[in-house]
Every structure is written in structure tokens, then in C-alpha cells.
Amino acid sequence: MTQELIELRACIVEQRYDDALVILDELEGMSKQAILQNIDNFAVRMLAHLIKNHFEQRLTNSWAASIRDSLVKIQSLNLKDNKKSYYLPENEWDELLEIAFDDAVFEASREIQGGDYQPLQLSKLIDKKSILATAKKLLLLTYTDSKKTLRDLIYQELIQLPGGDDWNVK
């Protein structure tokens, strides 16, 4: 990106505005791609913890915190600077979640029961459709107007997860 900024400066100084606009478009694309990659990373992290929750039918404080943090970060990353639109609109999560799910199974397989299950074995033992539905429900909460409201809504959803009642009273 540093090289692009140097080239952009040169284009502006030399009044080559068409070239400058091309560079700006490239920089914008790079920025959007980086944001989407971060969103994807947090989605994988959230899904891995939802998979562990689903498989073990319990909710630990660490898993709850990770799910919550992932959703809060996704909300922050996804909202564009204009505060009116999103990098990933509400209706475009399905494809990202499908791909992220496979990565999340790999992550979760390392920790579930001490890593006893290979990813393929684990994927046969979990209800992918149910986990993706839960993930999407949680992600749709990130489109709320208030960051405080989001945190409250996440908490209410966490106690609905398997083991959430036990986690809530600790």
C-alpha cells in the first residue's frame, strides 16, 4: 500500500488525475478486501465456539466471551464510514458462513475432547444446519443501531444456547 500512496502523490503532483483515480479505486478495493477478511476471521472464531457449544452441550465463560467479542467486532468492522451501509449486507451471510464453517470445524476439532476428533469425524457428529442458523441469527443482531443494545441482545441469545442456563447462574 505504501507504493500505491507514493504513486498516488506523484499522479496528483503531475496532475494525472485519471491515473490517480485508478490508484484510489485499487486502494479502496484493498481496504474492502482487508475488512471482509477480518469479518471472515471473526465469523470463523464465533462458529468454532458455537460448534464446541453444540457438541459439548455446555457454555463456558471463555466461549461466551469469544462469541460476544466476535459479534461486537463484526458489527464495528461491517459498518461503513457513512454509518448507513454495510460491507456485508444482511442477505449476504450465507456464502461466507458456508465457507467459514469448514474452517471453524478444523479449529474446533483441535479442542473438542482434547483433539480426539479429526475435522471430518467432527463434521459428521454435528448439526451444521442448526449451527449455521444460530450463527446467522446472532450475526443479524449486529445490524442494530446501538452498540449497547447489541451487547444486551447477545447476552439474551447466549443464555438460550445449550448450557446457557448453567452459565448464566455462575
Placement of cell 443482531 in the chain: 141
Instruction: Please tell me the predicted confidence (pLDDT) of residue 93.
Output: 96
For the chain, the three-class secondary structure string (H helix, E strand, C coil) is CHHHHHHHHHHHHCCCHHHHHHHHHHHHHHHHHHHHHHHHHHHHHHHHHHHHHHHHCCCCHHHHHHHHHHHHHHHHHHECCCCCCECCCHHHHHHHHHHHHHHHHHHHHCCHHHHCCCHHHHHHHCCHHHHHHHHHHHHHHHHCCCHHHHHHHHHHHHCCCCCHHHHHHC
Torsion of CA 165, 166, 169, 170, to 10 degrees: -150
Q: Where are the domains of the chain?
A: 38-169
Instruction: Please tell me the predicted confidence (pLDDT) of residue 4.
Output: 76
Provide the residue-wise pLDDT of the chain in tens; the chain has 170 residues.
678 777 877 878 878 778 778 777 777 777 788 899 999 999 999 999 999 999 999 999 999 999 999 999 999 999 988 778 899 999 999 999 999 999 999 999 999 988 899 999 999 999 999 999 999 999 999 998 688 899 999 999 999 999 998 898 76
Cα separation of 133 and 135, whole Å? 5
54 and 38 Cβ atoms separated by less than 8 Å: no
Q: Which residues contact 106 (CB under 8 A, 6 or more apart)?
A: 119
Instruction: Please tell me the predicted confidence (pLDDT) of residue 1.
Output: 64
